[in-house]
Structures are given as C-alpha cells and as structure tokens.
C-alpha cells in the first residue's frame, strides 16, 4: 500500500504524520490546490480527485440529502398506504391512510404523556449550603427520601416533615412549624430557599 502524502497547497511530498508542510509551511489540508493522495492539481470545487479517485472534501451535497429525504417521505407515505390497504382487507371495509396516520399520532401522544406522568415526582439525596448564623458559618442540609425530608445543621437533626413539588417549587412542611417554599431548578440539582442555594450532593 502506498503511504505517500502530498501537500494540498504546493504539491510537495510530505511525511504522512506531519501536520505542516516543510516546503511551504501550510497546515495539512488547509488549502486545496493538490490531491493529498497522488499530488496532482485539483480545484477548490472538486470533491473527488479526477486522477486517483480519492475523496478531497467532507462536504455534504445538500441536493442529495433533499432527494434522500423526499424518497424516504414518499416511501413512508407509500408504506402507510399499503398498511391502510392491508388493514382494510382484514376488516372488510375501507380505511384511509389519513385515519391510520392520525391514529398513530394519537398513540405517540398518549405514550409521551404516559412517560411524563410516570416521571418521579419526588426528590432524593442531600441538598446542602453554607449559612451564617450569629457570625458563624454552618452547613445546612435537607435530606430527601420519598415524600419526607430531614433538615440537619452541621450534622445535627433540626426538623423533619413532608414536602411536595408543584410548578417548579418545593414546599417543605415541617411537623412542627410553618411551611417553607423554595425554587427547584429544572435539572433538580439546586433548591433556592430565602436566597440560599442548596446544591445536591453528588454520590461518588
């Protein structure tokens, strides 16, 4: 196998492992005047070398992509028509492809809603932050398990209770005391309560 490599700027033979041509100093493949595989002159518009057939560019021909998408769309429509025809024969009455497509769309919508509803509504793990109390910095943590939470200050249990999540907010309901509401981030990695940001402790 021929391992020769040529500079695409000046056409000089170069080390295949080199990133810069020692003759002209241009980065390998930066300018396309010569084929990197055979060293013959080429034009910027060429995607394939006319001498050796090597691919010169990674550009995608958009027109080919459009044709492929159109062919796939036509095939999908034809297959849906065939499916409707098959269903019509089985049921003994005419079923239009439009009805079949509508039914498939409705089924997909039901599946998406079901997946969304099955997503967990509870938090788990520990969310912690540093809080200043009487000129001292302490670690305040909320530990969530199922629908219950425990608040600890510097490792000592302070309060327990239940909580609920609604509209991006977490409402903590201590067994003794008033409810506290905080903002839950979309990725459920932080809870902001009274301008303190509690970050989830990642398990190692």
pLDDT digits (tens, 9 = 90+) for 47-85: 778 788 777 765 444 445 556 556 655 665 555 556 556
Question: Residue ranges of the domains in the chain?
Answer: 1-59, 62-118, 125-200
DSSP strand E in the chain: where? 5-6, 13-14, 125-133, 136-145, 148-153, 156-166, 169-174, 180-184, 190-193, 196-200
pLDDT digits (tens, 9 = 90+) for 144-203: 998 899 999 988 998 999 999 888 899 999 988 899 999 999 888 999 999 999 999 987
* Closest among 180, 24, 47, 79 to 7, alpha carbons compared: 24
Q: Give the global pTM.
A: 0.42
Distance in angstroms (rounded) separating the CA atoms of residues 74 and 68: 10
The per-residue b/e assignment along 124-138, b for 16 or more CB within 10 angstroms, e otherwise, is eebbbbebeeeeeee
Q: What is the model's pLDDT at position 68?
A: 56
What Å distances lie between residue 31 and 17, 36, 53, 142, 162, CA to CA?
A: 18, 11, 19, 59, 65
pLDDT digits (tens, 9 = 90+) for 102-146: 788 888 888 888 776 666 577 889 999 998 877 888 999 999 998
CATH number of this structure's domain 125-200, picked from the four choices 2.40.128, 1.10.10, 2.60.40, 3.30.70: 2.40.128
């Amino acid at each position: 196998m021929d391992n020769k490599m040529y500079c695409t700027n000046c056409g000089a033979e170069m080390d295949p492992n080199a990133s810069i041509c020692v003759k002209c100093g241009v980065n390998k493949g930066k300018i396309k005047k010569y084929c990197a595989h055979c060293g013959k002159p080429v034009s910027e518009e060429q995607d394939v070398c006319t001498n050796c057939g090597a691919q010169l560019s990674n550009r995608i021909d958009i027109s080919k992509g459009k044709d492929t998408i159109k062919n796939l769309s036509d095939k999908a429509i034809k297959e849906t028509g065939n499916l409707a025809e098959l269903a019509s024969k089985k049921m003994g009455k005419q079923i239009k492809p439009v009805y079949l497509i509508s039914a498939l769309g409705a089924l997909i919508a039901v599946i998406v809603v079901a997946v969304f509803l099955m997503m967990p509504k509870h938090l788990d793990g520990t969310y912690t932050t540093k809080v200043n109390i009487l000129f001292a910095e302490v670690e305040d943590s909320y530990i969530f398990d199922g629908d219950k939470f425990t608040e600890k200050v510097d490792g000592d249990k302070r309060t327990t209770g239940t909580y609920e999540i609604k509209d991006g907010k977490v409402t903590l309901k201590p067994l003794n005391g008033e409810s506290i509401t905080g903002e839950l981030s979309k990725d459920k990695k932080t809870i902001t309560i009274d301008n303190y940001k509690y970050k989830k402790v990642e398990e190692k």
